[in-house]
């Protein structure tokens, strides 16, 4: 006999009809969810479009900070979400390992290195890097090289400092990312791009396209002809190029690699950078619609209501590693992701460490752990959830049970919306809502009752689907799914 799809159909005023879906349809959906297990939520929505997500791309001049941590959580979660719904995303880190900031880093380490041999270096320059990590790198270099570099010509010594510093800091940043459960499919070096002649090619392309001119002994890009507010210098009077040129070259390599869409995740201080970049893309006749820019807003740290000053002085959290040490990887990622990218984030350190329902990540992970505990209790009561027949599901008749199933059914739609709108916070909000619904259900109903084994099995079947969906969502957010807390 064919099941009725609707429990009732009502006319709700002129032009409106209400359809109430039959409970049997929700039960069938629950069975489908349970059968899919970890595959639930997987769709082909993205049609295997190739997406490049570039995020973090921090200068290799020091440890990753909390701004980088927000970008790491956001970018990695967006990658996982897009992959789950049928896109072919790739994660990329652009290493700004050329230019003035790297020279300053080498000079900073060189001064600290000479200082270790009691050389009077005078007052440490204001523009130099002052962090403890610079002293640590100088000490490590001393342990490897001894005093040998003191007697090397300054130019060669600084080059050695630069090579050493870049290798050490990149290794440091990669270890931090590993702790944060973030991986990259590719790392692109600005120095390598320059060495391959890519930068010179861009200058030639722009010149051949009639988009450059000389003025005041400098080479300029006619950016204003392509939508920018003013023209931009490409080559200075001393023959050195501006940072803008390798950035153009890097983005053109993205086009050359054939991606359907390229997403740049940038900090709030990059707004003025976009018009000139898009002007160059137009000038070189590439499709600017393929390049999408997402700005992550500022992060402010608060501890028990007091704003934490962003400083590298002892005891003040500024790095990704220090944040993980204090609140843990899961809380850090969840707090970063739950806030939409276009909104400023006030990160509450005290709240992130609380083991209470006030802490959203604890609240959600506790729901997952609680379900494991209930399933263990059922086995002790000799109620085996695996000894189950779908006819038992007819015992699920209450409104809150149907609402739980409705929430589960909506999971694939949430993933698709999160991917298409580039908003991983939708998944975080979803798990908070699902966890809250489960906690309320648990408090209201007895799930394991040996006097009602069929009802118990039906409810265990339902909460197991909740557990599996939470676990799926946790993976997309990059957080763990604990079995006990």
Report yes or no on 75 lying in a domain: no
Query: At 21, is the pLDDT very low, low, confident or very high (cuts 50, 70, 90)?
Result: low
Give the global pTM: 0.93
The proportion of the chain whose per-residue pLDDT surpasses 90, expressed as a percent, equals: 84
The model's pLDDT over 240-284, given as tens digits with 9 standing for 90+, comes to: 999 999 999 999 999 999 999 999 999 988 888 899 999 999 999
What is the reported pLDDT for 460? 96
The model's pLDDT over 91-146, given as tens digits with 9 standing for 90+, comes to: 999 999 998 999 999 999 999 999 999 988 888 898 899 888 999 999 999 999 99
What is the reported pLDDT for 412? 98
DSSP 160-209: HHHHHHHHHHHHHHHHHHHHTT---SEEEEHHHHHHTTHHHHHHHHHHHT
CA distances from 298 to 55, 272, 383, 424 (A): 15, 16, 51, 17
What is the reported pLDDT for 306? 84
Report yes or no on 161 lying in a domain: yes
Q: What DSSP character marks residue 240?
A: P
Report yes or no on 294 lying in a domain: no
Report yes or no on 306 lying in a domain: no
Q: Which helix H or strand E contains 212, and what residues bound it?
A: strand 212-215
Pair 361, 468 in one domain: yes
CA 9 to CA 182: how far, in whole Å? 49
**Where residue 34 sits, what CATH number does that domain have?**
1.10.730.10
Report yes or no on 261 lying in a domain: no
What is the reported pLDDT for 38? 87
Pair 372, 460 in one domain: yes
Q: Which helix H or strand E contains 24, and what residues bound it?
A: helix 23-36
> Is 70 exceeded by the pLDDT of residue 78?
yes
Pair 380, 451 in one domain: yes
Pair 36, 114 in one domain: no
User: Helix/strand/coil (H, E, C) string of 422-473?
Assistant: CCCHHHHHHHHHHHHHHHHHHHHCCCCCCCCHHHHHHHHHHHHHHHHHHHHH
Beta-carbon count within 10 A of 225 CB:
13
291 is written with which tokens? 């390049």
Q: Give me the residue label for tokens 């809250």.
A: 436
Q: Which helix H or strand E contains 335, and what residues bound it?
A: helix 329-338
Q: Beta 50-54 vs 17-21: how paired, if at all?
A: unpaired
CA 37 to CA 33: how far, in whole Å? 7
- Do residues 80 and 53 touch, judged by C-beta distance below 8 A? no
Which one, of 346, 369, 339, lies nearest residue 429 by Cα? 339
Q: Give me the residue label for tokens 């695996």.
A: 386
3-state DSSP assignment of residue 307: strand
Angle of helix 360-380 relative to helix 453-477, nearest 10 degrees? Answer: 150
Pair 467, 373 in one domain: yes
Report yes or no on 286 lying in a domain: no
Q: Beta 218-221 vs 232-235: how paired, if at all?
A: antiparallel
Residue range(s) defining the domain that contains residue 147? 100-179
In this structure, of 161-170, 285-294, 299-308, the range with the lowest mean pLDDT score is 299-308
Which one, of 184, 176, 428, lies nearest residue 324 by Cα? 176
Pair 361, 466 in one domain: yes
- State which of 130, 147, 179 marks the end of a domain: 179
Q: In what order do the strands lie in the sheet with 186-189?
A: 186-189, 88-95, 50-54, 261-266, 291-295
> Is 70 exceeded by the pLDDT of residue 310?
no
Phi, psi of 4 (to 5 degrees): -80, 130
Query: At 307, is the pLDDT very low, low, confident or very high (cuts 50, 70, 90)?
Result: confident
CB-based burial label for 169 (10 Å; 0-12, 13-18, 19+): buried
Q: What is the mean pLDDT of the chain?
A: 92
Q: Give me the residue label for tokens 């090397």.
A: 152
CA angle, 99 then 254 then 273, to 5°: 50
- State which of 179, 203, 236 marks the end of a domain: 179
Pair 35, 132 in one domain: no
Give the number of C-alpha atoms closer than 13 A to the C-alpha of residue 415, restricted to the C-beta side. 31
Phi, psi of 250 (to 5 degrees): -60, -45
CA 5 to CA 316: how far, in whole Å? 59
CA 104 to CA 246: how far, in whole Å? 19
Mean of pLDDT values over 423-434: 98
Phi, psi of 293 (to 5 degrees): -110, 130
The model's pLDDT over 201-217, given as tens digits with 9 standing for 90+, comes to: 999 999 999 999 999 99
Pair 395, 464 in one domain: yes
CB-based burial label for 233 (10 Å; 0-12, 13-18, 19+): middle
The model's pLDDT over 402-417, given as tens digits with 9 standing for 90+, comes to: 999 999 999 999 999 9
Report how many domains make up the chain: 2
- Do residues 325 and 349 touch, judged by C-beta distance below 8 A? no
Pair 131, 34 in one domain: no
CA 296 to CA 293: how far, in whole Å? 10
Report yes or no on 1 lying in a domain: no
Report yes or no on 104 lying in a domain: yes
Pair 26, 116 in one domain: no
Pair 26, 138 in one domain: no
Pair 31, 138 in one domain: no
CA distances from 266 to 8, 156, 175, 324, 428 (A): 51, 35, 22, 22, 21
Query: At 228, is the pLDDT very low, low, confident or very high (cuts 50, 70, 90)?
Result: very high
- State which of 154, 179, 204 marks the end of a domain: 179
Q: Beta 261-266 vs 291-295: how paired, if at all?
A: parallel
> Is 50 exceeded by the pLDDT of residue 14?
yes
Phi, psi of 287 (to 5 degrees): -80, 105
Query: At 164, is the pLDDT very low, low, confident or very high (cuts 50, 70, 90)?
Result: very high
249 is written with which tokens? 């070259």
CA distances from 191 to 102, 164, 166, 197, 294 (A): 11, 15, 11, 10, 25
Specify which residues 187 forms β-bridges with.
93
């Amino acid at each position: 006999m064919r099941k009725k799809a609707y429990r009732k159909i009502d006319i709700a005023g002129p032009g409106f009809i209400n359809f109430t879906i039959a409970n049997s349809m929700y039960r069938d959906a629950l069975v489908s969810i349970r059968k899919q297990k970890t595959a639930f939520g997987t769709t082909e929505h993205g049609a295997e479009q190739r997406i490049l997500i570039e995020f973090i791309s921090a200068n290799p001049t020091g440890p990753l900070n909390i701004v980088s941590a927000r970008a790491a959580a956001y970018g990695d979660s967006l990658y996982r979400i897009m992959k789950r719904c049928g896109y072919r995303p790739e994660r990329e880190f652009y290493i700004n390992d050329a230019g003035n900031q790297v020279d300053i880093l080498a000079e900073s380490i060189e001064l600290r290195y000479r200082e270790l041999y009691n050389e009077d270096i005078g007052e440490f320059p204001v523009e130099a890097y002052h962090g403890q990590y610079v002293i640590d790198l100088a000490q490590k270099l001393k342990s490897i090289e001894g005093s040998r570099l003191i007697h090397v010509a300054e130019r060669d010594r600084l080059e050695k400092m630069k090579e050493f510093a870049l290798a050490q800091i990149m290794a440091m940043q990669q270890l931090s990312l590993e702790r944060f459960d973030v991986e990259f499919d590719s790392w692109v070096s600005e120095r390598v791009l320059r060495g391959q002649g890519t930068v010179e090619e861009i200058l030639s392309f722009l010149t051949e396209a009639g988009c450059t001119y000389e003025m005041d002994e400098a080479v300029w890009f006619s950016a204003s002809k392509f939508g920018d507010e003013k023209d931009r210098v490409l080559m200075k009077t001393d023959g050195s190029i501006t940072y803008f040129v390798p950035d153009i070259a890097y983005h053109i390599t993205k086009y050359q690699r054939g991606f359907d869409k390229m997403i740049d995740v940038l900090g709030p201080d990059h707004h003025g950078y976009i018009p000139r970049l898009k002007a160059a893309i137009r000038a070189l006749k590439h499709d600017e619609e393929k390049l999408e820019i997402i700005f992550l807003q500022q992060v402010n740290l608060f501890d028990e209501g007091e704003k934490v000053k962003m400083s590298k002085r002892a005891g003040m959290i500024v790095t990704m590693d220090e944040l993980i040490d204090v609140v843990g990887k899961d809380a850090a990622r969840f707090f970063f992701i739950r806030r939409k990218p276009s909104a400023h984030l006030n990160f509450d350190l005290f709240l992130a460490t609380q083991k209470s329902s006030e802490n959203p990540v604890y609240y959600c992970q506790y729901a997952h752990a609680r379900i494991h505990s209930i399933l263990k209790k059922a086995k002790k009561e000799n109620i085996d959830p695996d000894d189950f027949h779908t006819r038992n599901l007819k015992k699920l008749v209450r409104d809150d049970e149907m609402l739980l199933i409705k929430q589960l059914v909506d999971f694939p739609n949430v993933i698709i919306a999160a991917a298409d709108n580039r908003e991983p916070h939708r998944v975080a909000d979803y798990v908070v809502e699902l966890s809250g619904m489960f906690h309320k259900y648990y408090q209201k109903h007895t799930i394991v009752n040996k006097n009602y084994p069929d009802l118990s099995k039906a409810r265990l079947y339902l909460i197991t689907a909740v557990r599996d969906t939470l676990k799926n969502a946790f993976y997309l957010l990059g957080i763990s799914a604990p079995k006990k807390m």
